[in-house]
Structure 1
Amino acid sequence: MPAVAELAQGWCALSLLHGRIEAHIERALQDGHGLSVREFSLLDVLSRQHDGPGGHLQMKKVADAVVLSQSATTRLVSRLEDRGLLVRYLCDTDRRGIYTDVTEAGLTLLTAARPTNDRALREALDEAARTPELVPLVRTVEALGRR
């Protein structure tokens, strides 16, 4: 079992890799599409719910999927709804359930932004691979992507 210091060092490396990747993607998405990483992630998660008409997610599941608190998710959804990229509506069978869905404009923006996101991710991983302590993590991310 690794010592606490080794675990802390591993966590620091993982946090560093995450921060570098997120910052690089954030700049690319903001510059190219006026989207934050969180906004892109939310549109992406919701767009993948569409196996046909009526694909949607309940707000609690949206918060879990984008790893935000419910209040932060509500603010994020509101911003995207104000931009016409998302809609919220009440569930037909459970009036307490609020669902979120991507609009056509949201899907169009997501389609345009996806190559930017993918290119920025690749660039960030390539840059991180130049830092010796991040190489094993970069390899792990790449291996996960091949699954």
Structure 2
Amino acid sequence: MTNENLTNEADDNESFLHNCLYFTTNRLSRAITRMADEAFATTGLAPAYGYVIRLVVAKPGITQKELSEKLYITPSTLTRFIDKLEGKRLVERKVQGKTVLVYPTEKGRELEPTIRAASKKLLQTYQDILGVEAAVLLTQTQESTSDQLER
């Protein structure tokens, strides 16, 4: 085999990566996660925790079940998030029968504008790179694709 044939064979063996939804989605996820981590650095929270706070402030007394559904995470993952946020005194749980309700603390409410600003910074960052139309289209496409694949 010539060097050219070996190069073409290597290219063929790797080209599947660029046509693979699994690989390209993970690549995109890593890129947007880096951007989100940078945008949320001012909050002292990981982006996922910030979004929990935003939801809890918007709807005090939201159930853990509703939070996990809105965030598309398992109840056990959400429990860990809430544990951490309680430890930081940003939210508190109240049990009503078998239902666990989550409320923001004063400290959580005070942090919410900083979290909202971080969300806006993240949005602005990827819109600046992709363009507003492409960013909106990508988000909508991912949302509808996720819905289809989860069925």
Q: Which has the larger radius of gyration?
A: 2
Q: CA deviation at 1:85?
A: 0.2
Letter in 2 for 1:58: T
C-alpha distance in 2, partners of 1:41/1:57? 13
**Number of residue pairs matched by the alignment:** 124
TM-score with structure 1 length normalisation? 0.70
Q: Secondary structure in 2 aligned to 1:35?
A: coil
The answer to whether the 8 Å contact 2:68/2:75 transfers is yes
1:140 alignment partner, one of 134, 137, 141: 137
Residue 74 of structure 1 aligns with which residue? Answer: 79
TM-score for both structures, normalised by structure 2 = 0.68
Structure 1's consecutive aligned runs of 4 or more residues displaced over 6 angstroms after TM superposition are none
Q: Following the alignment from structure 1 to structure 2, what is the Cα–Cα distance between the partners of residues 36 and 48?
A: 19
Percent of aligned pairs with the same amino acid: 17
How far did residue 84 of structure 1 move? Answer: 0.5
- Equivalent residue for 1:114? 116
Q: What are structure 2's unaligned runs of at least 5 residues? A: 1-15, 142-151
- Judging changes above 3 Å, is the alpha-carbon distance between structure 1 residues 139 and 71 closer, same or farther for their aligned structure 2 residues? closer
Q: Where is the helix percentage greater, Structure 1 or Structure 2?
A: 2
Decide which of 87, 96, 102 is 2:92's aligned counterpart: 87
Greater relative CO, 1 or 2 (CA 8 Å, sep 6+) = 1
